[in-house]
Structure formats: structure tokens, C-alpha cells
């Protein structure tokens, strides 16, 4: 299904029935990120699975894919599906989107899951790295960028012993276009710092980290857990930045337990 939002076409899928559970994938993936995890959730929850703008089957619109644009896209999607309140799960960039969504639409949040993400903005070095990546993608195309990202987003255990997951991740990430990667990297580089937002989060929150995540180390998750009152914190073993994709049974159980306990 397609939603028109601020000059972009946002693709989304709906699976299962029950209380709405909105699942936001990481960069540079798409809604298929959740395919291994969905079977553990869809018999009790209505899963809302969008491709963020510039990812998958969603178009980029014009200019950078900023967190503000993503948050507005998400609000419009909830309106279109007549969802007043939902549980929101965000991985990596999905978490950045949810910080912005909380600032603008916190009354719509029944629960939050922040997975493999961080509250801080990009450092100067990180922004420089994104600019270099943009130049390389524009010159050489997406394939070298995607291949380089695989070793960063997947954990050591997956890279060594789960070649099926590696192949599936490569196929999923290869859906990214030059335009989509560039718009996403520009949006990531310009995202605001959300550290001060953490103390304002009053919704029940689960913070997840991957044991082998080198992009967002466990210390980042521990900081968010410390700053968000009444939050829970869990580590997914033998998993990297794509923890829910790498260990779907564990992630699915954690998500289900958290969501089932919400009033």
C-alpha cells in the first residue's frame, strides 16, 4: 500500500490483527527487516510495517530525508490507518525518528522500544564520514557501500556462522538507490541531538542493545536506560546492529513480553 506524504510515496504493509504495533527498520534496510520477527508478534498485534522515505519501495521526496519528515510521514500513516495510539519500535534510524515523533506527537505513543540506537547527534567526524560516503556512492553506485555496511551492521557471530542471514541482509539492503542513500545520509547527518529528550519520555520504554553491536555500543543503550525513567534494558546476545534481524526469536520474545505487559 502507498501513502502520499509531503512529496514522497511511502510504502507500507499491514500484518496480523490486534493492538497496533508500528515497526521501524534501520538504515539501509526496509520493512523486510522484520520478516523473521513478525511471526512471533502478528497473532496478537496488528503490525504496521512502513518503508521509511528513501528506503525500499518508498520514494525520497525532495532534499534530505530528515527526522522531521520521517516523523510527519509516520503521523500521516497513523491518520490514514485511523490509529490514535500505538506501540512504536525503532531500530537505529528508526529510533532517531521516534525521538522526533515523541517531541511532536507524544500523545500517540502507548509504548516505545528503542533498539540499537543512540540519543546523540552525529559528531563532526561522523558527518565528515557521511559526506565521504555520499561522494563515493554518487561515483561508484550503491553496491560497494552496501558491501562495506554489511560488516558494520551484522554481528561477528552472524558474519561467521549465519551466512543465510548475511545473504538475506545483502539482498534487502541492495534495494537502496543512489538517491535514497544520499537523502538518508544527509538526513542522518543533520539530525538533532536527542539527549535532553530522554528525560521527557514518560511512556513505558524498552531499550535494546546487541551484544556485538559496534555501531551503537552497549554504553549508548545504558545511557538511554539511565535517562528514561522507568525504562527496561535488555541485551540481545550474539547479535550486532541488526539484532532483531539476526536473533528474531529472542527479539520477538522480548517485544512480545514488553507489549503484553502494557496497560
Model confidence band, residue 120 (pLDDT cutoffs 50, 70, 90):
very high
Tell me, what CATH number does 155's domain have? 3.40.50.1820
List pLDDT tens digits, range 6-54.
999 999 999 999 999 999 999 999 999 999 999 999 999 999 999 999 9
pLDDT at residue 230 greater than cutoff 90: no
pLDDT at residue 91 is higher than 90: yes
Domain count, the chain: 1
Reported confidence tier of residue 212, pLDDT bands at 50, 70, 90 = very high
Q: Considering the chain, what is the average pLDDT of its residues? A: 98
Q: Which residues contact 172 (CB under 8 A, 6 or more apart)?
A: 29, 30, 32, 33
CA distance 62 to 40: 37
For 244, the domain range is 2-260
What pLDDT does residue 100 have? 98
State how far the Cα of 156 lies from the Cα of 169, in Å rounded to an integer. 14
- CA atoms of 169 and 70, how far apart (whole Å): 23
Predicted pLDDT at 46 = 98
Say whether pTM exceeds 0.85: yes
What's the rounded mean pLDDT across residues 171-190?
Answer: 98
Task: Name the DSSP class of 82.
Answer: T
- At 186 the pLDDT is 98
Give the mean pLDDT of 231-242: 98
Amino acid at each position: 500500500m502507498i501513502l502520499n506524504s509531503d512529496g514522497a510515496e511511502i510504502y507500507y504493509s499491514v500484518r496480523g490483527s490486534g493492538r497496533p504495533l508500528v515497526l521501524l527498520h534501520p538504515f539501509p534496510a526496509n520493512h523486510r527487516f522484520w520478516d523473521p520477527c513478525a511471526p512471533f508478534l502478528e497473532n496478537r498485534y496488528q503490525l504496521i510495517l512502513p518503508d521509511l522515505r528513501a528506503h525500499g519501495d518508498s520514494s525520497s521526496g525532495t532534499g534530505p530525508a530528515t527526522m522531521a519528515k520521517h516523523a510527519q510521514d509516520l503521523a500521516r500513516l497513523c491518520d490514514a490507518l485511523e490509529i490514535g495510539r500505538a506501540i512504536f519500535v525503532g531500530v537505529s534510524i528508526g529510533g532517531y525518528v521516534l525521538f522526533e515523533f515523541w517531541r511532536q506527537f507524544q500523545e500517540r505513543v502507548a509504548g516505545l522500544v528503542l533498539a540499537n540506537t543512540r540519543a546523540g547527534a552525529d559528531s563532526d567526524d561522523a558527518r565528515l564520514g557521511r559526506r565521504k560516503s555520499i561522494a563515493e556512492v554518487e561515483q561508484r553506485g550503491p553496491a560497494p557501500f552496501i558491501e562495506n555496511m554489511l560488516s558494520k551492521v551484522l554481528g561477528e557471530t552472524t558474519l561467521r556462522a549465519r551466512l543465510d542471514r548475511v545473504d538475506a541482509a545483502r539482498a534487502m539492503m541492495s534495494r537502496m538507490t543512489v538517491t535514497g542513500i544520499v537523502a538518508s545520509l544527509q538526513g542522518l547527518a543533520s539530525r538533532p541531538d536527542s539527549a535532553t529528550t530522554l528525560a521527557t519520555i514518560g511512556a513505558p520504554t524498552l531499550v535494546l542493545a546487541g551484544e556485538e553491536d559496534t555501531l551503537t555500543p552497549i554504553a549508548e543503550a545504558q545511557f538511554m536506560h539511565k535517562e528514561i525513567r522507568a525504562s527496561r534494558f535488555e541485551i540481545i546476545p550474539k547479535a550486532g546492529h541488526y539484532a532483531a534481524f539476526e536473533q528474531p526469536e529472542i527479539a520477538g520474545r522480548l517485544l512480545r513480553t514488553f507489549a503484553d505487559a502494557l496497560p
